[in-house]
Chains A and B, each alone.
Chain A
Amino acid sequence: MKRYILRRVALAIPTLFLVSVIVFALMRFMPGDVATRMVEGHAYAPTLQALRHDLGLDRPVHVQYIEWIKGIALHGDFGRSYWTRQPILEEFVRRFPVTLELAALTILVSVVLGVAIGIVSAVRQDTASDYVGRVLAILALSVPYFGLAVLVVVLPSIYFKWTPVWTYVAFSADPLANLKIMLVPALVFGVTRAGPIMRIMRSALLDVLRQDYIRTAWSKGLGERTIVLRHALKNAMIPVISLIGLQAPLYIGGSVIIESIFRLPGVGLFFFEALTRLDYPVVQSVNLIIAAMVVGLNLLIDLSYAFLDPRIRY
């Protein structure tokens, strides 16, 4: 197990290196640059040149990359935002709990909905409840979460003069007020993510329910609840857990839109604003940190298989 973990961590280094190069290159080769964006229509040549010099953008691209990556590797310094001049890591750490909470609640909503409907669909295969469950899953898969989010914000305000709670309150300050704020975005995001979970849950459970050991359990006269929840569910959960792992970047990626619509001051909003302003160091660094987290999360998920299925060894 130790060797497996070490090998995976060692493999993460070239992965993250590649991510850093790709993100850096993408930002630099995107049309337009941050200095021009900062000066916009007011640009007069000396101003623009001076600004480029101040930001270090007049140096060769490879020198800029080396400077950036050296800061991270040697000093853990992710640099400062070009626009706000604030340290990026500090800002990331301050905002991360919001995104983490949103992701956790979204996973909770999607797993509870997806697993529950998936179980009912599988157990009552080809009945009315199965069809309803499958239609719901297709709906959840087809409706884009950002569209649903805008509808949830706009429609009640038009018809009922109601909108979700807006002013963010930290969990540590007032847990109940915080949950009130997080509830609607987590539901919107969670419902749309529940679709694939439901479908995987249904098919995985159907596979397991056809196994010999389940037949044995039936023949022993065990009740349906015991067979499904105690014997079948744990084994059927492995592809569901993998799916959640695969969806991890989506939870972060989705937070970019959800946070900006629901006014949640998390990493997603930080990233969204940086991207619209072409704030190179912020976009690069946030991407790199998230890539590192996704790599780590995938490792954790791989390790969790051993817990769910004792036959799996590392």
Chain B
Amino acid sequence: MARRAAFPGFLVLLAVLVAAGPALAQQPKQGGVLRIAEREAPGLDPHISISFLTHSYVSLTYSQLVRFPNGPEQKSPTDFSIMPDLAEKWAVSKDGKIYTFSLRKGVRFHNKPPVNGRELTAEDVKYSLERFMAKSGFRDRFEPVQAIDAVDRYTVRITLKEPYAPFLNHLANPSFCAILPREAEEKFKDFNHPDAVIGTGPFVLKSYEKGVKVVFQRNPSYFMKGLPYLDGAVIEITPDAAARLAVLRAGKAELPHIWGWISPEESRALKQTNPEMSVTPYQVIGQGFIYMRTDRPPFNDVRVRRAVALALDRKGWNDALLFGEGCVDAGPVPCALKDWKLDASKIDPAKAKYLVGHDPAEAKRLLAEAGLAKGFTMPIFHWPGYVVPWRSYYDLAAENLGKVGITVELKPEEYGKYISTTALGKYEGAAMGPSTPFTEVDDFLFGRFYPELPTNQSHVADAELTKMLIAQRREMDPKKRKQIVDDIQRYLADKAYYVYVPQWPQYVAHPPYVKGFKHHDGYGLGMRLLYTWLDK
């Protein structure tokens, strides 16, 4: 009798356990060390170096005033909403010029000499941001900053010369504004010495064997209780890309790149040899384009630029090279920057065709109308060393343009020359290449189209556009700013100042036991590892 009565209870218990199984399995576990294979960072000082490797390395150890969401907090890899980090809350004055940050109380630096775990204060924030403004290669992003004041022990006030909408995004970008302790600089001169790497972040730099490995340990007094899950992380210095993939295959590293990235081709090869691997495609903030001297003939004629735009068979490129997984509608705002992107489908089709269309007959007609019925020769300067599929892109562009009568002379350049001349707009004719993966839409608009900037590679000088570019920067209401950004995208669609090429996804690869490691665009790694755990 008792047995009979117990049976339904047992079934209920079983059902509950079965239902709860997956949930229990996904409960993060504490412990384990994550091994990452990556090249060596050129330095460790986040304000002096502009290398993404430096910023990714030390993002494990430092905190910022504010940050982007990561792991379970993020809605998408390009979720750039602003989260509290060292600042618990902040207020922006009505005129958009004064930012007041209230710091968390009781945040302690890592327990390493000469700082020895003392509490972080507003003076540290002031010192760090002023140092950033004095030394960083990114300091132009803080150009509108007029003053930084430590109002009291836990309050920092930043005064701007004018309203500047991208400001909080720049402040949250892990490339820029790590908060550092002054004593370490006084003792070590800068923050390049491994002993000087003292922050308030989730991991403590334990040891650095140059050229061999960098060892990080969990910060036991990190201010986000219970985090990080990992006991530590090790960056094993592996300069060669083939070797990085080999260590992933052989189970000697969990990430074959500091962000786990591999190319579409590598992802397919890896899936064949290691079907158990977790390989996830992400549309990342990348962008490639043809840029032209729009201040000189023949590209000062919009018909010629439109002909170039219509000559490219972007869909064909995407199918042939990117397994159909790329994004054809790649500019002027990158596909992955979803909060700001105005899809071509929402633009007048007559204009949108210059962004995504392919019409060789119309291209020929436009050239004839521009007095170039017999075609012309167009040099395309480029660096052949960019990752796959760039080399194919150059050839495809030459082939597509050849079909409408534009003879392309491909002009390969040495990387140093390409970066110091062509990529900064010093070239004749046209050039082709990728853009830096910025996290603020302003960089893709103001940076790309404002007259005289070195990143205005097409030498655009368009008075009407310039007004809109300044307006979006100064508009503090995100909705109103988005409207201006949309207007800019509508305005730019048929101007063809830049001709965009399809953007490919990036694959994040790791063994299946690595959980909670989500891709987030931007150069930070520390926050991604905050929620990462090992299921083994």
Instruction: State which residues 182-211 of B face A: CB under 8 Å.
Output: 190, 192, 209-211
Closest residue of B by beta carbon distance from A262: B243
Q: Take A158-B249, A161-B250, A168-B212 as given contacts and tell me if A261 and B42 are in contact as well, using a CB distance cutoff of 8 Å.
A: no
Q: Which residues 130-175 of A have a CB within 8 angstroms of B? A: 150, 153-154, 156-158, 161-163, 166-168
A33-B420, A157-B247 as given contacts; A261 in contact with B240, CB under 8 Å? yes
Query: Is residue A19 contacting chain B, with contact meaning CB distance below 8 A?
Result: no
Main secondary structure on B side of the interface with A = loop
Complex contacts, A31 vs chain B, CB 8 Å: 413-414, 416-417, 420-421
Beyond A42-B138, A166-B236, A166-B238, whether A157 also contacts B419 by CB under 8 A is: no
Bound together, the chains give a CA A43 to CA B40 distance in angstroms of: 23
In the complex, the chain B residue whose C-beta lies closest to that of A46 is B140
Helix, strand, loop or mixed for chain A's interface? helix
**A38 to B: closest C-beta gap in Å:** 6
CB distance from A314 to the nearest CB of B (A): 41
| Contacting residue for B238 out of A51, A85, A263, A266, CB 8 A | A263
Q: Is A101 interfacial (CB 8 A cutoff)?
A: no
| Interface set, chain A 64-81, CB cutoff 8 A to B | none
Given contacts A42-B50, A265-B209, A269-B211, is CB(A166)–CB(B247) below 8 Å? yes
Q: What residues of chain A lie closer than 8 Å to B49, measured between beta carbons?
A: 83
Residues of B within 8 A of A39 (CB): 50, 137
Quick check: B192 and A86 within 8 Å, CB to CB? yes
Asked whether B424 is an interface residue with its Cβ less than 8 Å from the other chain, the reply is yes
Closest B residue to A160 by beta carbon equals: B250
| In contact, B140 and A47 (Cβ under 8 angstroms) | yes
Contacts of A273 in B (CB 8 A): 40, 42, 239
**Known interface pairs A40-B50, A42-B436, A269-B239; A163-B416 also in contact (CB < 8 Å):** no
**B420-458 Cβ-contact flags toward A at 8 Å (1 or 0):** 110110000000000110000000000000000111000
Q: Which of B30-57 contact A (CB under 8 A)?
A: 40, 42-43, 48-50
**Interface residue ranges of B235-253 to A (CB < 8 Å):** 236-240, 242-243, 245-247, 249-252
**Cα(A158)–Cα(B243), bound, Å:** 11
Query: In the complex, what distance in Å separates the CA atom of A263 from the CA atom of B419?
Result: 28
> CB-defined interface of B87-123 with A at 8 Å, one 1/0 digit per residue?
0000000000000000000000000000000000000
Q: Are A41 and B417 in contact, with the CB atoms below 8 A?
A: no
Taking a contact as CB atoms under 8 Å apart, the answer to whether A161 and B424 are in contact is no
The count of chain B contact residues (Cβ–Cβ below 8 Å) is 48
Task: Tell me which residues across on chain A come within 8 A of B242, comparing CB atoms.
Answer: 150, 153-154, 261
Contact code string A83-100 (vs B, CB < 8 Å = 1, else 0): 111100001001100000
List residues of chain B with CB within 8 A of the CB of A32.
414-421
Q: Give A32's nearest chain B residue, CB to CB.
A: B416
**Residue with the greatest number of chain A CB neighbours at <10 A, chosen from B238, B242, B246, B423:** B246
Asked whether, in the complex, the Cβ of A44 is within 8 Å of the Cβ of B140, the reply is yes
Known A-B contacts A47-B139, A47-B140; the reply to A40 vs B211 at CB < 8 A is: no
Q: Which of B238, B243, B415, B454 is most buried by chain A, counting CB atoms within 10 A of its CB? A: B243
Contacts of B190 in A (CB 8 A): 85
A226 to B138, CA, bound (A): 73
Q: Tell me the minimal C-beta distance from B192 to chain A in angstroms.
A: 6
Residue of B nearest to A150 (CB): B242
B contact residues around A231 at 8 Å (CB): none
User: Distance (Å) between the CB of B62 and the closest chain A CB?
Assistant: 18
Chain A residue, CB-CB nearest to B413: A31
Task: Tell me the complex Cα distance, A153–B256, Å.
Answer: 14
Render B361-377 as a binary contact track against A, CB cut-off 8 A, 1 for contact.
00000000000000000
Q: Which residues of A contact B243 (CB under 8 A)?
A: 153-154, 163, 261-263
Q: How far is the CA of A86 from the CA of B245 in the complex (A)?
A: 30
Chain B residue nearest in CB terms to A86: B192
Chain A residues near B240 (CB-CB < 8 A): 150, 153, 260-261, 263
Q: In this assembly, does B518 line the interface, its C-beta being within 8 Å of a C-beta of chain A?
A: no
Checking A51, A157, A266 against B249 with a beta-carbon cut-off of 8 angstroms, the contacting residue is A157
What chain B residues lie within 8 Å of A44 (beta carbons)? Answer: 140, 453-455
- Residues of chain B lying within 8 A (CB to CB) of residue A156: 250
Contacts of A154 in B (CB 8 A): 242-243, 245-246
**13 CB-based A-B contacts, threshold 8 Å:** A32-B416, A36-B419, A40-B423, A41-B435, A41-B455, A42-B140, A86-B192, A95-B210, A154-B242, A163-B249, A260-B239, A263-B211, A266-B211
Residues of B within 8 A of A (CB): 40, 42-43, 48-50, 137-140, 190, 192, 209-213, 236-240, 242-243, 245-247, 249-252, 273, 413-421, 423-424, 435-436, 453-455
10 closest cross-chain pairs (CB), A and B: A32-B416, A265-B211, A31-B417, A36-B420, A157-B246, A83-B42, A260-B239, A32-B420, A157-B249, A163-B250
